[in-house]
Amino acid sequence: MIRPRLAAMRALVTGGAGFIGSHLTDALIAQGATVTVLDTLSSGRRARLPEDIDLRQVDVTDTWAVSAVIEEVRPEVIFHLAAQIDVRASVADPAHDAAVNIGGTITLLEAARTVNARLVFASTGGALYGMEAPIPSDEQVPPAPEAPYGTAKYCAEQYLALFNRLHGTRHIALRLGNVYGPRQDPSGEAGVVSIFSGRAHEGHEPTIFGDGTQTRDYVYVGDVVTAFLAAGTAEQGGTWNIGTGRETSVLDLIKHIGQAAGREVEPVFAPARPGELQRSALDATAARNDLGWFSATPIDEGINRVYAWVRDGRPDRATP
């Protein structure tokens, strides 16, 4: 079977003004795809996108407006990255989190059906597998999220799988590790590389919650974009982990940032946050076998690029 080429495709990127979505939008345009971005600009920024982009300021929970955009644009593939991404906000207001992260995904699945589009959904690997999960965790590990955010992402994944069974579609969920890279807002846990690089560059000490031995699977944004591109033209539907398979501790991050800064960075320690996972890493062997994807950027190289971006004043249009 000949795989469709992204070059000839019409693509819709929800959340395309965000950190990952704006890099994906640039990569799709570079491949020759025709791209429309759907984004409320609630946390996204217009300045991250090319000036002539087709941007629709629409909320994914607005069923009528989403359908109207999809009927007009008729995308062949929809990269669905728009989300309520704040884990703590999901604990404070689970109903809102579910409305955006589950309800918004169902709205897109239904709209995609009218034009036969494939959906590639940005799920989570870092917030899905529980405290007892083997490390690295593969896709067979039963999800046991610690917050409504992970529960909603898992529920949305289940709708994708249901639509695949019900309607014979080939929708895809990518369970992302902790994505980092240039353009990432220095807020939230996932933004720790950006936050620490900023603190180090300004000559301040970064604050570590807990003793710094907690680990995450930090995967570089350029590699995550490659995973989305591979999923966009994959032959099969399904769910894949997207990570490095490696654990990096917060103390390791500080060491790498110190190397990028050319000096030793001394952290300050604050009490651990309750409910925080101690360890996390994703086994992405299946993505390598099925999608031909693997994480190519070593952590020290990725951190050097983030540090250079911070030193340059965090430009919105930075390349990965």
Instruction: Work out how close the CB of 288 gets to ligand NAD at its nearest, in angstroms, rounded to a whole number.
Output: 19
Using the rule CB under 6 A, give the single segment among 54-62, 90-98, 272-280, 301-309 that binds ligand NAD: 54-62
Q: Which phi and psi angles does 174 have, rounded to 5°? A: -110, 120
Using CB under 6 A as the binding rule, whether residue 179 contacts ligand NAD is answered as yes
Asked if 59 touches ligand NAD (CB under 6 A), the answer is: yes
User: Coil, strand, or helix at residue 248?
Assistant: strand
85 binds ligand NAD (CB under 6 A): yes
Axis crossing angle, helix 19-31 with helix 221-232, rounded to the nearest 10: 50
- Site mask, ligand NAD, residues 63-82, x = CB under 6 A? ------------------xx
Single out the catalytic residue among 129, 149, 159, 180: 149
Residue 270 lies near ligand NAD (rule: CB under 6 A): no
CA dihedral (207, 209, 212, 217) in degrees, to 10, reads: -100
Q: Is 20 in the site for ligand NAD (CB under 6 A)?
A: yes
Q: Which of these segments, 14-22, 248-256, 266-274, 299-307, binds ligand NAD (CB under 6 A)? A: 14-22
- Asked if 176 touches ligand NAD (CB under 6 A), the answer is yes
Asked whether the beta carbons of 40 and 57 are under 8 A apart, the reply is yes
Near ligand NAD by CB under 6 A, which window of 59-67, 134-142, 278-286, 306-314? 59-67
- Say whether 149 is catalytic: yes
Residues within window 112-131 making contact with ligand NAD, judged by CB under 6 A: 122, 124, 126
Minimum CB distance to ligand NAD, residue 177 (Å): 7
Please say whether the dihedral angle defined by the alpha carbons of residues 36, 224, 171 and 59, taken in this order, is positive or negative.
negative
Tell me which DSSP letter residue 311 carries.
Answer: H
Outline where DSSP puts E strands in the chain.
Answer: 10-14, 34-38, 54-56, 77-80, 118-124, 172-176, 178-180, 207-209, 215-216, 218-220, 238-242, 248-249, 268-270
Taking the complex as a whole, the smallest distance from the CB of residue 277 to ligand NAD amounts, in Å, to 13
Cα 157 to Cα 152: distance, rounded to the nearest angstrom: 9
Beta pairing partners, 11: 35, 77
The site for ligand NAD (CB under 6 A) is made up of 14-15, 17-21, 39-44, 59-61, 81-83, 85, 100, 104, 122, 124, 126, 176, 178-179, 190
Give the active site residues: 149
